[in-house]
Structure 1
Amino acid sequence: SVLVHFFFLFLFFTCVCRSPLGMSRGQILDEDISASSQWSDSTAAKYGRLDCEEGDGAWCPEIAGEPENINEFLQIDLRSLHFITLVGTQGRHAGGIGNEFAQTYKIKYSRDGSRWISWRNRQGKEVIEGNRNAYDIVLKDLEPPIIARFVRFMPVIDHSMNVCMRVELYGCEWLDGLVSYNSPLGQQMTLNGQYIYFNDSVYDGAMSYSMTEGLGQLTDGMCGLDDFTHSHVYNVWPGYDYVGWTNESFPNGYVEIMFEFDRTRNFTTMKVHCNNMFSQRVKTFQKVVCYFRSESDWEATPISFSPVMDDVNPSARFVTVSLYNHMASAIKCQYYFSDIWMMFSEITFQSGYPTTVPRDLDDSNTRILIGCLVAIIFILVAIIVIILWRQVWQKMLEKVSRRMLDDELTASLSIQSETFTYNNNSPSSVPSEQESSSTYERIFPLGPDYQEPSRLVRKLPEFSQTSEDTGELQKRVQEGVPHYAEADIVNLQGVTGGNTYAVPALTMDLLSGKDVAVEEFPRKLLTFKEKLGEGQFGEVHSCEAEGMQDFMDEDFSFNVIENQTVLVAVKMLRTDANKNARNDFLKEIKIMSRLKDPNIIRLLAVCMSSDPLCMITEYMENGDLNQFLSRHEPEGMIAVLSNAPTVSYSNLHHMATQIASGMKYLSSLNFVHRDLATRNCLVGKNYTIKIADFGMSRNLYSGDYYRIQGRAVLPIRWMSWESILLGKFTTSSDVWAFGVTLWEMLTFCKEQPYSQLSDEQVIENTGEFFRDQRRQIYLPQPPMCPDPVYKLMLSCWHRNTKERPSFQEIHHTLLDCKP
C-alpha cells in the first residue's frame, strides 16, 4: 500500500503538491527569512509574508545601482528539500498608504546554500510577470517545478517606481531525497526528415560532454506520451518530454546514470518511465545493473533486473525495479539497450531512512532512546483511549437524537412546509459563501486561503490582472446563467455518497407544501440480491420485491406479470447515521416522489417503520449503460469476427434521445443533476433508458471521480469549465455533461473521456476554455458518429452558457436526425 500511495503521489505531484509552505501562516520562522537589504526595520525581510500587514506591510529593498538591478533579493530557507510548483507575490498596500510592487522578478534557488541556479521556464525565459497593483495576489506556476531548500525572489528594478514584495511558496517536501543525477547528454534523431531532440532541456547542473550535479526532466513530475514526437507542453520541439540515447554512441551497450541523495537511505524500489514505440526502434531497457554506495566506496556486488519485453503494446510505461532494501547515499545504474533507441521521461525512488542503530551510539544514548520510545507508546495509548471514549459518547448522543427524530416521523411521511435556504437573506444574484463552498470545495488545492470560488477568480494567475479585467471576468461569467441557479439552492449529498439533484429553494418550497404520496412497503417482501455500492451514510442494494404491482401508479409503465417478483434498487440509511443524514434522506424521498417521467428512475415505496430506513426505486435488468455498452460492439466486421453481441447505431440514437427526454423533464422543474454520465443511466428491455444517480456510490467507477485532498470527489471529466473553476452547477452544465455522455455512447464506453490527459491536465484544459484562445482540447469525433451528432456535441461544449442548446432543443434535434 505504501508503494501504491507513492505511485499516485508521483503521478499527481505537480497538481496536488500545491500547499502553502508557511510564509503567510507563520510556519516559516522569521530567522529563516533574510534579504540583501531593507528600507528600514519596519520593512525587513520578516515582513515579506503574503497577505500579512505587519510592520510597514512588506519587504522593501534599499534601491541602489543601475537600472534593471537584480542584485536585491528576499531569501527563504525551507530547512529541507522541497518540491516547489507555485509561487505567489503581492505588493505593499498598508491600508492604502503604500503603492509599491514588483512588476517583474526572477527566482534563484539552491539545494545546498552554495550553488545558486537561475530558474527558467520551459522556453528558457527567466523573467516572471509580477504584480499590477499593490493588493492583489498573483500566483504563477513554476513550469518546470524546482527542487530546493533555499529560494530567492529577485525583483527586476527599473527605478521608475519603488519596489516592495510579499511572497509565498507552494509545494511539498521532496520525499525522494534525490539531489542530483549525472547522465550522458541526450541525443537527436532524424525521423521522416524531421529532427527529434531528446536533450534534457531543463537540467540545472553543468552540461558539457555529460550532465553533472543537477536535476531536470527526469525529476520534473511529467511523464512522456506514448508517441515521443508529441508533448504535454505547448510550443516545444518534438521529443521534448524524453531524454534519449542511441546504442550507436555506447559501445558497451548501456547508458550509465548516477543518482546522489541527501543522506543514506533504505531503498526499496526504482520506477523508470520508458517509451516503448517499437515501430520506431524504441524499447524499454533490456536489463539494468545497479551499484550502491553507502559510505565512500561502491559495493562490489550489484543487483540486476530484466523486465519482460513487450512487442505488442506500444504504450509508454513505468518499469519497477526492486532494490531489495539496500542502504546507500548514491546509486549507479547501467541501463542496457534492447533496440536502437532508449528513452526515459521520469525516474523516481521509494526509500526510507535507515532503521538500524548507528554503531557509535553509546549505552547512555540507547537508554535515552528507549525511554523516549516508551513515553511515546504511553502517549499513543492515552490518545487511543480518548478517541474510543469520544466515539462511545458520540454514539450515546446520536441514539438520543435518533429517538427524538423518530418521535417526529409519521407513517404517511407528511413533511410540513419548509424553506431550505443557506441564509435568511432574499435570493441574490451572487451565491453566498456558504453555497459556494458546498458546491465547489477546493478544486485547486492551494490551502485554506484559497477555498472559496468567489475568491478563486482573484487568486488564479491568469485571472489576477487589473480591476477592469476582473470586472470583465465577472460580467462574462454571469452571462447565460439561469436565474434559478443564482438563487439559493438545496444541494443534497445522497446517503450513498452520490450527488442527488440540486433543487432551487423556491421549487423546494412549492414541493414541500404537498403531501408525499409514498406508501410503506413490507420489509419482509424484499429479498436482497447484490450490493451495488455504498457511501458514508448508506448503501445501495439490488433486491427482488414481491407484490410490487400494488404500489405502482396507474401511469406507471411496468410490464410485470401478476405475482412475479420485480427487480428494484434499495437505498438504505445506516442505523448509525446522524440526524443531518436522516433529514437529508427524508428530503431526498420528497424530491424523488415528485419525479414522474418515463426516463427518470421512479421512487416506488419506502420502509420507514423501523431502522434501517429505506427507499425503493426502479432498477433495470440490464444494469447501467456504461457496463452494458462496454460488453457490446458496434455492428460490423469486428463484431462478426469476435462473435460479440452488438448494438446498432439506431439503438444508440434511441437511447440518447431518451436521455435527452429525461433531462428535458428535469430541466423543466429547474432540477440540476450534476452527475450525468453513462454510469448513471440504467438500461431495461428494448433499450429503455432511465436516469439515476447511483454511479458515485460504486467502487467500479471510483476512477471517474477526482478526490480533492481526501474531501470532495468530483466527476471532472464530465464537468463544464464553469463548474470546475467557479462551482456553478446549472442546467447548462448538465448540457455539457450530456455532450460527454453522448460521446461515451458512441465510443461504446471503451475509454474514459480525455483518457490521454491526466486529471490535472483536464483541470488545466478548463482554464483554456475560460481564456478562449482556441487552445482548448475537445473530445474527438468518434468513428461511427455522424457529423450532425458531433456538431450537437460541440454545441454542448460552447464556452458561453447562452450558446449551449437547451435540453428541449437537444431532444428536438435528435428526433429530427433520427436514422
Structure 2
Amino acid sequence: MHLFLLLILQTTAAFGQIDPAHCRYALGMEDGRIKDDDITASSQWYETTGPQYARLNREEGDGAWCPEGQLEPSDSQYLQVDLGRLTFLTIVGTQGRYARSSGNEFARAYRLNYSRDGLLWKSWRNRLGNPVMEGNKNAYASVINDLHPPIVTRHVRLIPVTKLSTTVCMRVELYGCPWDDGLISYAAPEGQLMMPPGYPIASLNDSTYDGTRERRRLSGGLGQLTDGVIGLDDFLLTRQYHVWPGYDYLGWRNDSLGTQGFVEMEFVFDRQRNFTSMKVHSNNMFSRGVKIFSSVSCQFKPHLIANWEAEPVAFKTVLDDRNPSARYVTVPLNRRAAKSLRCRFYFADVWMMFSEISFQSGNEIKHNNHTFQSEQVNKTTSCFDSPDVSNTPVLIGCLVTIILLLVIIIFLILWCQYDCKVLEKKDRRYRLIDWCYFLSGPANTDPHYERVFLLDPQYQNPAVLRNKLPELSQSAEASACGGGYAEPDVTQCTPHQCFHSNAPHYAETDIVRLQGVTGSNMYAVPALTVDSLTRKDISAAEFPRQQLIFREKLGEGQFGEVHLCEAEGLPEFLGEGSPLPDRDGHSVLVAVKQLRADATSQARNDFLKEIKIMSRLNDPNIIRLLCVCVSSDPLCMVTEYMENGDLNMFLSQREIESTLTYANNIPSVSLSDLLHMSVQISSGMKYLASLNFVHRDLATRNCLLDRRLTIKIADFGMSRNLYSSDYYRIQGRAVLPIRWMAWESILLGKFTTASDVWAFGVTLWEIFTLCKEQPYSLLSDEQVIENTGEFFRNQGRQIFLYGPPLCPPSLFELMMRCWSRDIPDRPTFEGLYQALRPHVSQ
C-alpha cells in the first residue's frame, strides 16, 4: 500500500507540471484582450497600418501592420507585443495583409526575440540552432509555428526576414498560458558528457539555455529544465527528433565537481513568494550509475540584495533500488518566503540527472496587521501539497478519483490490445487511422496530428465502431469492385483484382516504394522497371559537381535535400539536342536532388532506381532528368527547373485578367492561360498513364512553369516546408496529401491511374480558384477523411468541392466526373486531354 501511495503521489506530481501540448491558448491579439497600447513597432508605413492593426483574422485599418518602406535583408524592423505578465509561449501564428482582397503583402520568414523584463532581449532558436521560422505563402492563410523549445517571456518581438528588397505586412496571434511558476532564471554547473562503454555518448548539456555560459557555469537564463519536456526512463532516448542521446536531461558526474559531492543551483523569481514545495524530475537508471539525489538542502533569500538566511530546509529522499523509472521528487519547502533559493542536491551514485524543476507557492498578503496565506496557488499545486487534518476529506477524494482513473485507463488499454489483434486480421493498410494508438499510445504533441471518426453518428460510439470495422472493410473492398453498398459479395474478387476486373484501362501498379530524397516516391511503377541496377544501367551522363553553384534550398526530405543551383556550362555539356530552352545568355538554373551521405542503404538504392525511372521519361510536360553526379557522395540527380517556380505560387500571386488589372499593372492571367495550363497537365499525365506510371501526388505545387507558361510535372512539393500543411502526418507513417486523394486511396491504400484522375480534378479546381485557398478549406483534416467514408457508403452525403466562379460549367462537370465514386465512371487521361483541348482552340 505504501508503494501504491508513492506511485499515486509521483503520478500526481507528473500531471501537475506545465504541458506544452495543452498550453496552447490564444493570448488575446485576435479577441482584443491584448490592448492597442501593448502593441508597438519599430516603424509603420501609414497610420492605418500601425501595430494596433496586427491582429490575426482582423481587417481593421488597412488590414495589418506594415513597417515603413521596402524591407531590406539587413533590416531589423519589428512588431512588439507586451503580454502583461510572464507567459509560457508555445505557438506563433501569422498572416499577411489581405485587406478584403485588396492587399498582397506578407512575410515569408521571420525571427523571434523575447524578453522577460523588457530590457534584456534574447533570440529564439529551435532545438537545432536555427533562428528563422517559415512565414506565409499568401496574404490570407494563417501559418502556425510551434516553438520547439517553448519560451518563458513577457515581451515578444517578431522580426520579418527577407532575402530580397520587398514590402511586408503581418498579422499575429500568440498562444500559450500563464507562467504561474514565477521562475525567471536558474544557475547551475554546465552539463557534462557521459561516455559509458558499449553505449552511445550522452551529451547532458542544457542546449536551449538562454542565459550566459561562463567558467563552465550557466547563469541568468532558463532552458530545458523549464520547457515542459519530461525525460524518459532511459536517458539515452529522447522525446525530440533529430537530437542526440541524453538531450532531455541536464546531468553531472560526482567526481567532476571536486570533493563536495553535491550540485548547487540558484533560482530567481519574479517576486517574493511563499514556497510550499519544489518538484524535481530525476532519472533513476541505477544500472548505469544514475540515481535520484540522496538529499537536498535549500537556503532562502527574501530580497536579491539580502543575505542568505541561516536556517535551511533539508529533505532526505527515499532511494529506490528496485524501480529504475524516472520520477518526480517532491521537496517540501515549509511555506518559506523568498525571492531567491539556493539548493544543494547531494549525489546518491556516480551520476545525477534532471529534466524538469518547478515550484509551488502562494502569496503572502498583509492586512490589518494580520498575515493571511492567500490560495493563489499556481496550476502545478496538487491536492497533496497541504497535509493539514482539515483537508483529509479532500485528500481521500483525490485518492479515490485517481484510483478510479487508473482502473479505467488499464481497462481501455487491455480492450485496445484485444481490438488491435482482431484488426490485424484485416488487410487494411489505411483503416481508421491509429485507433489503437488513440487509446494506448503516448500523448502526441504534433498539432497537425488528427484521429479519424466517421461522420455518421452510428460510428461515433467506440463499441459500435469496433463492431462495424469488418463491415467497413468489406464494403470498401466491394466498392472498389464497382458493386453497391448493399450486400457486397467480396468473395468474387480480391482487392488486388478489383481494379483490373471492372476498369481494364487503369493499370493497378505493383507499387515499389522509392524512398529517395523526400522519403516517398515520385511515381509508383511496375516492379519490373526498378529491379537491381548498377552504374552502367544509368544512361544519364556524369556532370562535374564543381560546376553546380548553390543558390538556395528548395526543400528538404527524410533522406536529403532539393537545391536550386546554377549549372555552369550545362548546354555545352549536353550538346546538340539539349532539352534546355534558349537562355538568351542567362545562366541555367537546375534543381538538384541530393541524397545525404549518411542515408540508409535502402534509400541509396532507391535513389539510383529513381534515376533509372526518370531517365525513361521523355515528354514536354514532364520534368526531365538532365544529368547525374553519382561517382562520389553525396549522390545527386540534376533536373530541369523553371523560372516561374511552381504553379501554386504563380497563380496565388495573380488575379484574373481585367481592365482593372491592366490599368493598375497587377500581375494577371487570362482564362485562356488557365485552360492552356490544364491541357498541358492532362497531356503530361496522359503520357505517364501510357507507361502505367502512377504519380500519387498530383497538385499545382508539383507543376513547374517556365517564362512561356510551359508546365512540367515534378515532385518537389512534399519536400518543401512551404506546403507542409497540404500533407496529413500520421505517426509512424508517411505523410499523405489527403485533400487530393481518392477515397479508395485513403481507405484501401490503392493508388492507380484512376486515383491520379481524382487528383487531377482537384488540381483543375486549384487552377480555376487561382490557388487562393486550400481544397476543402472549411474542413479539418479529420473531416476530410470522414468525408471519404461517405463516398464508400454512397448514401448521398458526400461533400464535393464547389464550382469555382471562373470555371465554365462544362469544365466543372468534367471535374465532377473525375470525383466519381465508382472507378469505371471516371474519365481516362486520354479522354480528359481530348475534352480539354477544344477549349484552348476556342
TM-score by length of 1: 0.48
TM-score by length of 2: 0.47
